[in-house]
Structure 1
């Protein structure tokens, strides 16, 4: 893979960052409410605690948050955070009109990850 491959930097950060740092960055990109949704918690307080390192998300939530960061990071290479937030929450024609955030939250990351990443790459390519 070339260093110019779209999303490569976001992938590296999603893998190498500790979860507190990753959640903090994801919160800046997507907002606390969307991160809470992706992490399957009802309160943004949990997101703040994850970012502060005073609480650790469950293992399954960590997998989803790493995937979400990879996708968000790829999209922010071309778009502003408000566009990325809208993309995560909007019905996506490449995902059978399902919101990417919903797929990430409700699906198995190993199954939905490639589909969501492909949709994000397609969106970034036309942006």
Structure 2
């Protein structure tokens, strides 16, 4: 089964990131997202004012609300897709930069300020476009 998943993931960019975003236990997802984006950006996306809650989420000793968890799972899916092609630094920059595909608004800001269910598709499309075109 894992051989099939690997072949499918190679043919469909972002599929592995999607599978992990929905399948990983939340503490593991936060730990990996923290490695990809840095603890400050994860705290920002998680809608908290300090990095301390992020450590609790990664350790499994606390958890954010349902909407913030969905926001972080969406961020993981986006970051995972971008990491298939780019470095962690480029992925972080993509989240923080004024993106022309998003009316020159930073994707992190959009994801934090709007419901992930409302903007997730738009952000994933912008990330996929960046991953394919650069």
Equivalences, count: 126
- Of 57, 61, 69, 1:62 maps to 69
TM-score where L is the length of structure 1:
0.97
Higher Cα Rg: structure 1 or 2?
A: 2
Cα-Cα RMSD: 0.8
Once the two structures are superposed, residues 80-111 of structure 1 have per-residue CA deviations (whole angstroms, 9 ceiling, x without a partner) of 00000000000000001110001111111122
Q: Which residue of 1 aligns with 2:103?
A: 96
Task: Point out where structure 1 has 5 or more consecutive residues left out of the alignment.
Answer: none
Once the two structures are superposed, residues 1-48 of structure 1 have per-residue CA deviations (whole angstroms, 9 ceiling, x without a partner) of x43111000000000011100000000000000000000001101101
TM-score where L is the length of structure 2:
0.92
Which structure 1 residue ranges, 4+ long, deviate > 4 Å from structure 2? none
Task: Point out where structure 2 has 5 or more consecutive residues left out of the alignment.
Answer: 1-7
- Of 39, 50, 55, 2:57 maps to 50
